[in-house]
Amino acid sequence: MDFEFSAEERAFEAEVEAFLAAERSADVMDAHPEQLSQTVDTPPKRAFMKKLSERGWLGMSWPKQYGGRELPGIYDFLLTEALSRAGAPQPGKGVGIVGKTIIRHGNERLKREFLPKIIAGEIEFAIGYSEPGAGSDAANMQLRAVRDDARGSKEADGNVGRRAVSEGERSSSGWVLSGQKTWTTSAHFADWYWVGARTDPASKHKGITLFLIPMDHPGLTIRPTWTIGDERTNEVFFDDVFVPDDHVVGQVNGGWTYICEALDLERFAMMPVGPLEKKVEAVCEWVRTARRDGEPVRRDPRARRTVAQLVTQLEVARMLQRRVISQAVKGGVPTVESSQYKLYMNECSKRTANAALDLMGAAGQAKPGADGAPAGGRFERSYRYTVVDTIGGGTSEIQKNIIARRKLGLPT
């Protein structure tokens, strides 16, 4: 397995790094990046994403017929890693999860409507899988989608729903969704909702369908939930939300297969190793320059041992990620490799934050921005945020189950 980059790939990486150095802005880039925080939630960040599109860097591995360049997937990886190291917003969900699933399974209407906007950097998506009773066990989702073949006439009669529908909805059949989603991080700024719902109550895994819904749909109510990592996520409530048939993604009751494919993409596309690299660098820099009781911390054998362990573990995380990339660029679905990488990387991130606070002592508990806070207080926040990372994209416990069943052959 060759983990080295070609001369062309290194040249592209250098081009992206030069672009980021020229575009550096506090309005766009997080000086202390965490894993899931680089979202496109402000006008400057959306403008930045348009610049990536103008340079032809969005959807580089997509087929040319959909606006891509048919470059090897390694270029998408190099872009994401460079963006993550700079704390810049990343194209992850739209280009990877949504776009690639629509290319593989979407109808022509969805391809025409969404793919040009994704590759132009003009649209943002929220992902709706988790529910109060279906977090780690996403296949247990209970958001109901009930078939309605006469929505137009029923709306006209006032028998179903409480909102006016568009002419497009009046002329179409579709589905009515009722229920709740939770942990939808992008719901308060996204344009469209990528949602899994239960269309067949009799079948757990083969009874789920994917839908695309505008986030300004009158039947959606969004309520904030704040995590211990200072990040906003959301509850989303569905009150008689109508979705026409042409906004069903792929086959009815085939959604679980698509979700699993997308989660495999998410576990490395949206979990880059770049932020972990920056955290380890920050620990090393603090140890190199800090003093305790008048002595340089770098001379403490325990501090030196801790730094050596963190740097070694970072290299392990990087190699596990390269295994995922190696499978993905060959056209495979790296299910086990993605779970191995995500599990190890998340746990390594926790160990890094924990080790940093141990080295810094009581002063390490000072919050970001506090006077005299070691490393600007970043590890107090990082310590809290690493818990959030173990949940997004599938909990650590789920990753262990996948590895146990699919790699080790252990029973369910």
**What's residue 3's pLDDT?**
66
**What's residue 284's pLDDT?**
96
Question: Does domain 273-407 match CATH 1.20.140.10?
Answer: yes
**What's residue 136's pLDDT?**
65
Establish whether domains 7-90 and 273-407 are of one fold.
no
Task: Write down the residue that tokens 């776009």 correspond to.
Answer: 99
pLDDT along the chain (412 residues), means of 10: 81 97 89 63 90 96 94 88 90 88 95 96 93 78 90 46 43 88 92 96 92 96 92 94 96 91 60 89 96 94 97 95 80 82 93 96 91 91 88 84 93 84
pTM: 0.85
Q: Which residues of 308-338 are buried (b: 16+ CB within 10 A; e: fewer)?
A: eebeebbeebbebbbbbbbbbbeeeebbbbb
E-only strand ranges, 189-256: 192-198, 208-214, 220-226, 232-244, 248-249
**What's residue 264's pLDDT?**
57
CATH no. for 126-254: 2.40.110.10
Per-residue 3-state assignment (H helix, E strand, C coil) for 359-380: HHHHHHHCCCCCCCCHHHHHHH
Query: Which CATH superfamily is 7-90 part of?
Result: Acyl-CoA dehydrogenase/oxidase, N-terminal domain (1.10.540.10)
| In the chain, where the domains are located | 7-90, 126-254, 273-407
Q: Name which of 179, 170, 136, 125 is nearest 152 in CA terms.
A: 170
- The DSSP line for 79-116 is HHHHHHHHT----HIIIIIIIHHHHHH--HHHHHHHHH
